[in-house]
């Protein structure tokens, strides 16, 4: 059994992962800026403060920290926060590597929105280049900062798709419009959305820990079009789905550069992890939404 520390473990993914790791018998410590529970430990990466005693027994370190990508418009200040809460936290943890004498593996969260958007017919895999847009470059720098641990231990980077969870995340932002019966495709509606159910994502993290894997892994169950995704949600809530597409220019006006999260997307493959024996259990979008 491992002693697993999750930085940024109080959020959507961290809470689900903690629960499953504990039920599998691992010891779990959470690094948070606001400790409220006995297994919570204080850090504040922005002022380079951390409870070093908590690090000593840790064998696996996971960093899930990150200010919400789609929470606020991407002003210069917000971009600095998006970067410092990901790249800055990885760099800070790496600067403390000597305080983790037993560390075997470092796992960094990463994002699936990192591939070149040039070819809509291509299915992208982990060996493909990063795109040149803001998010792709953020992910590139995020993963480079994770690699600072390479001299110390195995490093895995999990390029996570849109997580489907009843407890928040992207779905909680989409559901209100759908429930009001005004759900509609965004932009052309043809752009792919890569998705994964929270239970499968948690199992994927555990698979990577138990097999002590290193490298980059796309964490998605499947891709579907934005139109099909919104239609499936409307069907789930037994709501109509006949409104016209929300034009791209409207979304650009409302969200600025952040509208790329809604309007862009490519097809991505999960073959690397399935070839290693990982099995997704919520394979069908309608089942996953249920």
Ligand X SMILES: NC(=O)c1ccc[n+]([C@@H]2O[C@H](COP(=O)([O-])OP(=O)(O)OC[C@H]3O[C@@H](n4cnc5c(N)ncnc54)[C@H](OP(=O)(O)O)[C@@H]3O)[C@@H](O)[C@H]2O)c1
10 belongs to the binding site for ligand X (CB under 6 A): yes
28 belongs to the binding site for ligand X (CB under 6 A): no
Nearer Cβ to ligand X, position 197 or 227?
A: 197
Nearer Cβ to ligand X, position 91 or 243?
A: 91
288 belongs to the binding site for ligand X (CB under 6 A): no
197-226 footprint of ligand X as x/- string (CB under 6 A)? ------------------------------
Q: Look at residues 130, 136, 109, 132 and name the one whose alpha carbon lies nearest to residue 201.
A: 109
Nearer Cβ to ligand X, position 32 or 59?
A: 32
Give bridge partners of residue 268 from the DSSP assignment.
124
Cβ contacts of 228-234, under 8 Å, gap ≥ 24: 228/285, 229/193, 229/195, 229/285, 230/174, 230/178, 230/183, 230/184, 230/185, 230/186, 230/189, 231/185, 232/285, 232/286, 232/289, 233/171, 233/174, 233/175, 233/178, 233/183, 233/289, 234/178, 234/183
Instruction: Give SS3 for 289.
Output: helix
> Which residue's Cβ lies closest to ligand X?
11
Q: Using N-to-C axis directions, what is the helix angle for 12-23 and 198-210, rounded to 10°?
A: 60
DSSP state of 186: B
**Residue 171 belongs to what H/E stretch?**
helix 170-179
57-96 footprint of ligand X as x/- string (CB under 6 A)? -------xxxxxx-----------x---xx--x-------
152-171 footprint of ligand X as x/- string (CB under 6 A)? --------x-xx-----xx-
Evaluated on CA atoms 20, 211, 106, 138, the torsion sign reads negative
Nearer Cβ to ligand X, position 14 or 185?
A: 14
Q: What are the φ and ψ backbone dihedral angles of 242, each rounded to 5 degrees?
A: -130, 0
Q: Are strands 154-160 and 162-164 parallel, antiparallel or unpaired?
A: unpaired
CB of 14 to ligand X, least distance (A): 5
111 belongs to the binding site for ligand X (CB under 6 A): yes
Nearer Cβ to ligand X, position 29 or 86?
A: 86
CB of 108 to ligand X, least distance (A): 9
Nearer Cβ to ligand X, position 93 or 246?
A: 93
Nearer Cβ to ligand X, position 45 or 183?
A: 45
CB of 201 to ligand X, least distance (A): 8
Residue ranges in contact with ligand X by CB under 6 A? 8, 10-14, 32-34, 45, 64-69, 81, 85-86, 89, 109, 111, 160, 162-163, 169-170
């Amino acid at each position: 059994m491992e002693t697993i520390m999750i930085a940024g473990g109080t959020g959507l993914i961290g809470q689900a992962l903690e629960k499953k790791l504990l039920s599998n018998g691992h010891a779990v410590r959470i690094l948070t800026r606001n400790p409220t529970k006995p297994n919570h430990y204080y850090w504040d990466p922005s002022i380079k403060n951390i409870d070093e005693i908590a690090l000593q027994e840790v064998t696996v370190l996971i960093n899930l920290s990150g200010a919400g990508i789609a929470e606020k418009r991407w002003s210069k200040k917000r971009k600095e926060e998006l970067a410092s809460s990901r790249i800055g936290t990885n760099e800070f943890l790496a600067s403390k590597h000597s305080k983790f004498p037993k560390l075997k593996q470092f796992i960094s969260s990463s994002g699936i929105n990192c591939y070149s958007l040039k070819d809509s017919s291509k299915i992208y895999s982990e060996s493909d280049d990063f795109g040149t847009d803001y998010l792709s470059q953020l992910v590139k720098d995020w993963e480079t900062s994770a690699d600072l641990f390479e001299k110390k231990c195995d490093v895995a980077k999990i390029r996570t798709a849109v997580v489907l969870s009843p407890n928040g995340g992207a779905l909680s932002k989409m559901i209100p419009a759908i429930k009001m019966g005004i759900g509609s495709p965004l932009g052309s509606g043809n752009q792919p959305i890569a998705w994964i159910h929270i239970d499968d994502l948690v199992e994927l993290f555990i698979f990577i820990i138990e097999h002590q894997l290193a490298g980059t892994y796309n964490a998605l169950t499947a891709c579907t079009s934005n139109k099909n995704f919104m239609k499936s949600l409307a069907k789930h809530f037994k709501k109509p789905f006949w409104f016209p597409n929300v034009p791209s220019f409207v979304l650009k006006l409302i969200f600025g550069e952040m509208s790329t999260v809604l309007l862009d997307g490519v097809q991505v493959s999960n073959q690397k992890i399935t070839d290693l024996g990982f099995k997704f259990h919520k394979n069908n979008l309608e089942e996953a939404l249920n």
